Amino acid sequence: MSLTMKAVRIHAYGGPEVLHYEEPPIPKPQPDDILIRVRAAAVNPVDWKIREGYLQNTLKHHLPLTLGWDISGDVVEVGPQAAGFNIGDEVYARPHIERDGGYAEYIAVRASEVARKPVTLDHPHAAAVPLAALTAWQSLVEAAQLQAGQTVLIHAAAGGVGSLAVQLAKARGAKVIATASALNIGLVTELGADQFIDYTRTRFEEAVKAVDVVFDTIGGDTQARSWQVLKPGGILVSVVSPPSKAIAAERGLRRAFVFIHASGEQLTAIAQLIDEGKMKPHLHTVLPLAEARQAHAISEGGHARGKIVLHVAD
Ligand SMILES: NC(=O)c1ccc[n+]([C@@H]2O[C@H](COP(=O)([O-])OP(=O)(O)OC[C@H]3O[C@@H](n4cnc5c(N)ncnc54)[C@H](OP(=O)(O)O)[C@@H]3O)[C@@H](O)[C@H]2O)c1
């Protein structure tokens, strides 16, 4: 094996021009790591938020930094304390966000953050799953404890997180009301949404009332208007900004802010749902690793349909 690899890194914070396709050393796995040969890596909004330097006060990073925390590939080395995997296993992961990411031919990941990839998905589709599906799982299952028969309003249902959240909510037996623009009515309905609201024409709070859960992936004014559609005791879960404690208390509602944590265990449960045909990722586009700048530009545009994926190796 050569000592270097192709990777996309940043040496300074800034616009897409700070992304550089270069040849750093292959990472050395820690004792509890596995080394993964990356086949595909997904792009998420957090990648360009980190690239811009917006999260410098929240997350600890060293520069140069390899971006990308959503990968699918196969195991090429197993650390002495990394249990549960063998060389050649096909795996997927949302690695720890404060370590070097997966816009690279190789990544070292803690074994506890890795799971066997869904057997029914190829690597580009599998890479599209971990970060968005864990976010949906930790928001709907852990924070909201969404139950069969409940109703959930999912904002940005055509996005990376929303498109998996709709399917997860349906798999749990909930009724789903989804927002997106008219362009995405076909996609969102196909994903299983029971009711579609074109947010560009209809104020959702005029069309929805008394839901059990709102899943907010937009923040700002969308979050502020979301309180009024909840039934008493309902919960507003955001992954963008913490909903106000004072407003929740005043209205007899609950709130939660979720910042995703890595979990191989949850990824195993998600792989099972996918292999049972209950959930599948939708890909907006697949681009070569060297075109990460273009991938970031699409993500920053805010209108991706599903996930943007970088192809790393066949
Ligand atoms: N806290 C965490 O752990 C965590 C984890 C994952 C993601 N996030 C955050 O969650 C947000 C969403 O992530 P993502 O990956 O799903 O983003 P994304 O894929 O880029 O979302 C794009 C989607 O947003 C829709 N959209 C834009 N404005 C909208 C509006 N006002 N109402 C309804 N839909 C709207 C677009 O639909 P149209 O084209 O139809 O407008 C598009 O389909 C990001 O800010 C991300 O950083 C946080």
149: which 2 tokens? Answer: 């028969």
Closest ligand 1 atom, residue 162 Cα:
16
Point out which residues pair with 116 in neighbouring strands.
91
* Residue owning the nearest CA to atom 22 of ligand 1: 159
Domains of the chain: 7-129+281-311 (3.90.180.10), 132-257 (3.40.50.720)
Do residues 271 and 117 make contact, with C-beta atoms less than 8 angstroms apart? yes
135 lines ligand 1 (CB under 6 A): yes
Q: Which residues of 261-295 are buried (b: 16+ CB within 10 A; e: fewer)?
A: ebbbebbeebbebbeeeebbbbbbbbbebebbbbb
> Which pLDDT score, from 0 to 100, does residue 2 have?
82
225 lines ligand 1 (CB under 6 A): no
> Which pLDDT score, from 0 to 100, does residue 1 have?
65
Task: Write the single-letter amino acid at 13.
Answer: Y
Q: Tell me how far the alpha carbon of residue 306 lies from the centroid of ligand 1, in angstroms.
A: 9
Closest ligand 1 atom, residue 182 Cα:
40
Q: Tell me how far the alpha carbon of residue 48 lies from the centroid of ligand 1, in angstroms.
A: 13
**Cβ-proximal residues to 222 (8 Å cutoff; 6+ apart), any chain:** 155, 199, 216
* Residue owning the nearest CA to atom 42 of ligand 1: 303
| Residue that has been written with the tokens 């996918």 in this structure | 274
* Residue owning the nearest CA to atom 4 of ligand 1: 239
To the question of pTM greater than 0.85 for the whole model, the response is yes
Q: Tell me how far the alpha carbon of residue 218 lies from the centroid of ligand 1, in angstroms.
A: 6
> Which pLDDT score, from 0 to 100, does residue 164 have?
98
For the chain of 314 residues, list the mean pLDDT of each consecutive stretch of 10: 93 98 98 98 98 95 97 98 96 97 98 98 98 98 98 98 98 98 97 98 97 98 98 98 98 98 97 98 98 98 97 97
- Label residue 115 left, alpha or beta by phi (over 0 means left) and psi (-120 to 50 means alpha): beta
